[in-house]
């Protein structure tokens, strides 16, 4: 809180008029981030040419955020801000799940995703794999670049559910991530 008040150029007393404690501040930062992310994703959904374009545009939005997800941040969240970590996991399991499920349904309607899949199952698998991608025990930063991991994750996901028409669109749209 000392560092933050110094960085903002305000006294700690002024800072504590806005937030009760560090935990509340962390909670507000996460809530603000989640709200902005959902707004951005909804905008991407409206603007995307197709379901694959949507997934690529969402990835382009999310990748810069991944640069800030350090092992220390994850450790601190799990250990010291358990409520916020739980809120983040709930957010992923509900909101991100919903976005991915809607994307799958859209892709099936557009004929670019195969229709033999259950959207609920594939969306849950996607959310689970996303948590694996940021897990430092599985993918140590010393060996794996998070941006590359996420690109591989997106490509793996889409290739697994895409029709031949969808694979052609993937090749076209994936260039945006390079």
For 34-65, the pLDDT digits (tens) are 999 999 999 999 999 999 999 999 999 988 88
CATH number at residue 52: 1.10.357.10
pLDDT > 90: percent of the chain: 56
**Average pLDDT score over residue span 101-115:** 98
The two structure tokens encoding residue 21: 């404690």
The two structure tokens encoding residue 119: 């959207």
Better-scored residue on pLDDT, 101 or 72? 101
pLDDT for position 177: 80
pLDDT for position 21: 87
Any domain includes 113:
yes
Any domain includes 13:
no
pLDDT for position 18: 87
Average pLDDT, the chain: 91
**Average pLDDT score over residue span 25-29:** 89
Ordered DSSP codes for the chain: -HHHHHHHT--HHHHHHH-SSHHHHHHHHHHHHHHHHHHHHHHHHHH-SSHHHHHHHHHHHHHHHHTT--HHHHHHHHHH-HHHHHHHHHHIIIIIHHHHHHHHHHHHHHTSB-TTS-HHHHHHHHHHHHHHHT-TTTS-TTT--HHHHHHHHHHHHHHHHB-HHHHHHHHHHHGGG-
Any domain includes 16:
no
Q: What is the pLDDT of residues 155-171, one digit of tens each?
A: 999 999 999 999 999 99
Domains: count for the chain: 1
For the packed helices 51-66 and 146-161, what is the interaxial angle rounded to 10 degrees? 160
Residue numbers of the domain that contains 136:
21-177
pLDDT bucket at 97, cuts 50 / 70 / 90: very high
Any domain includes 14:
no
Better-scored residue on pLDDT, 28 or 134? 28
Any domain includes 73:
yes
pLDDT bucket at 69, cuts 50 / 70 / 90: confident
Any domain includes 8:
no
Any domain includes 41:
yes
Number of C-beta neighbours around residue 21 at 10 A: 10
User: In whole angstroms, what is the distance from residue 17 CA to residue 67 CA?
Assistant: 31
pLDDT at 137 over 80: yes
Any domain includes 146:
yes
pLDDT at 139 over 80: yes
């Amino acid at each position: 809180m000392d560092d933050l008040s110094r960085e903002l150029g305000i006294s700690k007393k002024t800072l504590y008029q806005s937030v009760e404690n560090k935990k509340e501040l962390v909670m507000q930062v996460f809530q603000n981030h989640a709200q902005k992310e959902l707004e951005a994703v909804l905008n991407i959904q409206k603007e995307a040419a197709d379901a694959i374009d949507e997934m690529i545009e969402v990835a382009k939005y999310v990748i810069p955020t991944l640069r800030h997800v350090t092992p220390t941040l994850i450790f601190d969240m799990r250990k010291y801000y358990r409520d916020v970590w739980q809120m983040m996991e709930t957010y992923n399991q509900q909101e991100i799940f919903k976005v991915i499920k809607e994307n799958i349904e859209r892709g099936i309607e557009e004929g670019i995703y195969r229709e033999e899949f259950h959207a609920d199952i594939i969306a849950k698998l996607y959310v689970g794999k996303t948590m694996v991608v940021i897990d430092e025990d599985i993918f140590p930063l010393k060996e794996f670049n998070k941006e590359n991991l996420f690109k591989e994750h997106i490509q793996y996901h889409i290739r697994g559910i895409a029709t031949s028409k969808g694979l052609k669109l993937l090749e076209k749209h994936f260039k945006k991530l390079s």
